[in-house]
Structure 1
Amino acid sequence: GMTDLQMLSGKQRYMTQLEVKLIKQSRPIILSGNITKQLGKKIAFSVSLNNLLKDAAFLSAFLEKTGDDKLRQYSLEGETYLPGVLGVHVIGLLQQREDLWSHGLKIKYGLLGEEKNLHHECSMRQKIKVETGARGVYKLDTGHEFHCSQAPTYNHKVHLRHEASASWLSSQMEVNYGKHWDEINNKKKLLISQAFKNSSSSSLVNYFMEFTMQVLEKQVNYRTQLQHSHNSQVYLQSSTSFEVRYNDHVPFVAGLQWKDASRNGLKKWEGGLNIDTPWLYLYAALKRHQPQHSAYLLTMELTTGKALSIKDLVVELFYKDQGNEMEGKVHIYTPATTYLQASTFNHLGRNILHSYSEMTSLWNRLVKNEIHLENNERTKFLCFKIKSTKQEFNFTASYQNLPMPKKTNFSVKTVWRDYKSLPVVLQFEGQIEELKKEKMLYQKRGTLHFRHPFEVPILQSFLLQETFTVDKKQKHYFLETKVLINGVEETVQTLTLGYHPENPYICAGLTHPYNDKLFPKDVEICILT
């Protein structure tokens, strides 16, 4: 082996050589290499291998740095040879000129028997330029090319431009590919761009965004835009729109707007949403209005088309609360049809509730409903009424206690009325009444009355009345019981108790309208002492 280090005219050279003999009569296998370096500028090295393969194998490279204050340049050249396998020649260049960086690389190669004839060639180039303007505008310009003679499918060229500042941003990218990738009229081209703009101020927020893509070979032209603004100068309002374009079609559009014009504690808000696609069109609006501090009005509008068709559907909700009075309304309609219209009015006073409601819809005619409720110390009353154009249902329950004259009434009554026939009445009533209250005479009467219209084998009408009398002048107690069945069959039973000290007695009497074969129709029995 041998090594050598030399210094000549500022160049530093280092060389080494190694010789190996595996067998005494064989050719020696020689591995040698050298490195030459010029301080700070050039480096060259080579490695060779002899007598191992059919030809000598070698690897060499040369790197050089040149430049001044405006230009810096790095160059690289290399060569590799493996007999029967590979032959490669590489040339590379890297430059910097102020804000511009550029790079180029060319490779020639041969494979498997063609290693000495370098028929294949691939090249690649890049450039990057970065600038920052006086107003803070950042600019980036970059390009990339790749070409290979044996693989034209992968040939391409890319150019990207990007600019940005405090209020806007813009990017464009162009990609050329295919067989004619480096021609001006190349059809295989992809164009992509995006933009963002912010034009906001102290009282205005405004954004705009756009993205586009074109594929010339496929005749594809795609664009998306988004715009948003929010203004608070006079009153709060906001608007947002989103649009998608594909070639000459607009497959998707959406917009959202709202405004808040509330003043003096009264709410006033309205907003709208619209969406348009090839399958569905939708428009919806919402308004919330407070005409008074105690009243609220909510209006919703809806229109759809294409897959689902609804035209100008309006829903109105109204609510008013004034403490003891509450009012509500619901109205669902279109210009051609009323689907639902309903209203309710409720009055709540001291120990009283009155509610009145109306409803009409596409499926039924006008229906009225009324509820009246009283809860006083001496009077209790409940009335529930529902009425349509053909039928009516009424339920009433009451309780009353009167001090003078002392009387207690209670009743439950249900009425079902169909205007094609007689009303159906189900009634239950009761009364306890003090008829007389004197020094020598006291009389009290109680009554129960029940009736129904159903044709069943039991009584339809039943009246029970009992009268109790205390007569101190006649010195007797008297109890009279009357029973009236179905309004015609009256039965009277009497019981008299005399408490005169000299001759007390008991008398009982019965009068009935039934067959007298079993029992007399009119009979009285007395026991005297």
Structure 2
Amino acid sequence: GMADLQMLSGEQRCMTQLEVKLIKQSSPIILSGNITKQFGKKIAFSVSLNNLLKDTAFLSALLEKKVDDKLRQYSLEGETHLPGVLGVHAISLLQQREGLWSHGLRIKYGLLGEASAPRRECGTRQKVRAGTGARGPYRLELGHEFHCVQAPTYSHQVHLEHEVSASWISSQMEVNYGKHWDEINNKKKLLISQAFKNSSSSSVISYFMEFTMQVLEKQVNYRTQLQHLHTSQVYLQSSTNFEVQYNNHVPFVVGLQWKDASRNGLKTWEGGFNIDTPWLYLYTAHKLHQPQHSAYVLTSELTAGKALSIKDLVLELFYRDQGNEKEGKVHIYTPATTYLQASTVNRLGKNVLHSYSEMISLWNQLVKNEIHLENNKRAKLLCFKTKSTKQEFNFTASYQNLPTPKKTDFSVKIVWRDYRSLPVILQCEGQIKELRKEKMLYQKRATLHFR
């Protein structure tokens, strides 16, 4: 064996050699190595093995560093050879120039019979750039490439740009792949982008979001958008819309809007909701209006299509509360058909309740109902009446208690009228009267009439 260390012009060199001879007549197996080091600049080493394989086996590497005010650069070159097994030659470069970092790697290799003359080649490159201008946004740029001559299917290129400011964020990514990955007209390409924008102010909240994706090979074009706006400048209102586009068609849309225009303590609210999908279309609109402090009007509209068919269905509700008098109305209709129309008026006084209502629908003609109820200490009365165009039903019940002379009267009367025949009347009257009340004699008389 042998070792030698030299210092020359700031360069340190070390050489070692080991010889092994197994048989006197054979050539010695020689393992030798060299290391060269230049402080702060480069380092190189090599190892070789002779007389063991049919050719020399070796491994070598060189690492260099270059640094100045604008550039940092690191390079690595290596080579290895195992006769009949493997041959590799690799070059790698890493450098930084201001805000840009870049890296490249190229490898040539050969296996078995190609080990002595490597023909297979693969390479990759990366770059990263990041920075912020004096007043500009923050920008990030990423790049990546990989290609292999013997496997073009896996070759690809990726480019990503990302930008951030005080009011928006955006990103774009482009991916090229396949055999023609580095050609301008390459059809195997994926494009993805996303954006978020905030345009809000003191009286306005505004957001916009978008996501897009294109796959040229599959002819896929996809886009999603979300918009939201809320303002309180003149009155409160809000609008939110979500939309999906696929290959220039719009298969999915959702929208929600509302507005509060209340003034002077009187409420005025409006709102709407719509959705459109391949299976269902739905639109609804609602309005709550307060014409005066004691009255409310609610109007709702509904239109549906595709799986469910409803056209211009309207629901109107009215309610008024004036203390002892309460009134309500409901109306359900379309421009062509009235499904339900009903109204009711209720008056409540001292010991008196009166209610009147009307109803007409698609399934029955006009029906009128009336209820009258009195509840006094000595007298009570209940009247119920319902009437249609062909029939009428009346029910009346009364109760009266008189102290002088002491007696109690009650009656029940039921009338059923069918205009195709004579009315049916059921009447029952009764009386309980005290005739005499003495110390040894107590006498009462009860009378009942039924017809």
TM, length-normalised to structure 2: 0.92
The residue that corresponds to 1:213 in the other structure is 213
Q: Which residue of 1 aligns with 2:272?
A: 272
Q: Which residue of 2 aligns with 1:177?
A: 177
Range that drifts further, 44-53 or 185-194: 44-53
What are the within-5 Å matches in structure 2 for residues 266-415 of structure 1? 266-415=266-415
Query: Where do 1:18-167 residues align within 5 Å?
Result: 18-19=18-19, 29-167=29-167
Cα deviation digits, residues 81-109 of structure 1 (max 9, x gap)? 22332211100111111111111110101
Distance 1:97 1:410, change over 3 A: same
Q: Counterparts of 1:367 and 1:29 in 2: how far apart (Å)?
A: 118
Structure 1 residue 31: deviation in Å? Answer: 4.1
Residue deviations 1:108-155 (CA, integer Å, cap 9, x gap): 011122111211101111222222112141112222221110011111
Aligned equivalents of 1:312 and 1:175: distance in 2?
A: 49
Shift of 1:26: 6.9
Following superposition, the deviation at residue 420 of structure 1 comes to 1.9
Partners of 1:145 and 1:21 in 2: CA distance: 49
Mapped to 1, the partners of 2:318 and 2:72 lie a distance apart of 79
Q: Within 1, Cα distance between the matches of 2:351 and 2:182?
A: 94
- The one-letter amino acid of 2:187's match is K
Residues 239-271 of structure 1: CA deviation (Å, up to 9, x unaligned): 112222222311122221110111222221111
Task: Provide the rounded CA distance (Å) in 2 between the counterparts of 1:36 and 1:107.
Answer: 24
Unpaired stretches in structure 1, ≥5 consecutive residues: 452-529
Q: Post-superposition shift, 1:193? A: 1.8
Secondary structure in structure 1 of the residue aligned to 2:153: helix
With over 3 angstroms needed to count, the CA separation of the structure-2 counterparts of 1:344 and 1:16, relative to structure 1, is farther
- In 1: Cα distance, 2:413 partner to 2:3 partner: 129
The 1:30/1:350 distance shift into structure 2, 3 A limit, reads farther
Within 1, Cα distance between the matches of 2:333 and 2:8?
103
Aligned to 1:113, what secondary structure does the other structure show? helix
Task: Quickly say closer, same or farther: Cα 1:12–1:344, change in 2 above 3 A.
Answer: same
Q: Comparing both chains, which one has the higher relative contact order based on Cα–Cα distances under 8 Å and sequence gaps of 6 or more? A: 2
**Distance of 2:29 and 2:318 partners within structure 1:** 104
Rounded Cα–Cα distance in structure 2 between residues aligned with 1:276 and 1:251: 7
Moved more, 271-280 or 201-210: 271-280
Cα distance between partner residues in 1 of 2:84 and 2:251: 60
Distance verdict in 2 for CA 1:85–1:443, change over 3 Å? same
Matching of residues 2-21 of structure 1 within 5 Å:
2-19=2-19
Q: Deviations over 1:263-318 (max 9, x none)?
A: 22222111111222233221111111222222222211101122221111111122
Q: Using a 3 Å threshold, how does the CA distance of structure 1 residues 433 and 79 change in structure 2: closer, same or farther?
A: same
Counterpart Cα distance in 2 of 1:22 and 1:398: 136
- 1:404 CA displacement: 4.4
The AA in structure 1 aligned to 2:449 is H
Q: Which residue of 1 aligns with 2:190?
A: 190
Structure 1 residues 449 and 125: CA distance shift in structure 2, 3 A: same
| Equivalent residue letter for 1:273 | F
Change (3 A) 1:53 1:391: farther
Q: Residue 448 of structure 2 corresponds to which residue in structure 1?
A: 448
Paired residue total:
447
SS in 2 for 1:264: coil
CA distance in 2, matches of 1:396, 1:84: 118
Fraction of identical pairs, as percent? 83
Name the amino acid aligned to 2:241: S
SS in 1 for 2:114: coil
Indicate the larger mover: 26-35 or 305-314: 26-35
* Structure with greater Cα Rg: 1
The CA deviation string for residues 484-508 of structure 1, in whole angstroms up to 9 with x for no partner, is: xxxxxxxxxxxxxxxxxxxxxxxxx
Quote how far apart the aligned CAs of 1:197 are.
1.6
SS of 1:365's equivalent in the other structure is coil
Kindly state the Cα deviation for residue 219 of structure 1 after the two structures are TM-superposed.
2.2
Cα separation, 2, equivalents of 1:259 and 1:289: 12
TM-score by length of 1: 0.79
For residues 23 and 343 of structure 1, do their structure 2 counterparts lie closer, same or farther at Cα, with a shift above 3 Å needed? farther
The alignment yields a C-alpha RMSD, in angstroms, of 2.3
**Partner Cα separation in structure 1 for residue 371 and residue 5 of structure 2:** 117
Specify the alignment match of 1:421 in structure 2: 421
* Residues 365-421 of structure 1: per-residue CA shift (max 9 Å, x gap): 112222222211001122222222222233322211133454311123333332222
Partner AA of 2:217 in structure 1: E
SS where residue 118 of structure 1 aligns?
A: coil
In 2, the alpha carbon distance for the partners of 1:3 and 1:327 equals 113
CA distance in 2, matches of 1:184, 1:47: 45
Aligned CA distance change for structure 1 residues 14 and 395 (closer, same or farther; 3 Å):
farther
Cα distance change on mapping 1:370 and 1:27 into 2, 3 Å = farther
Query: How many Å separate the matches in 2 of 1:101 and 1:374?
Result: 94
Partner of 1:503: none
Partner of 1:463: none
Query: How far has the Cα of 1:21 moved from its partner?
Result: 5.9
Letter in 1 for 2:198: N
Tell me which amino acid in the other structure corresponds to 2:218: K
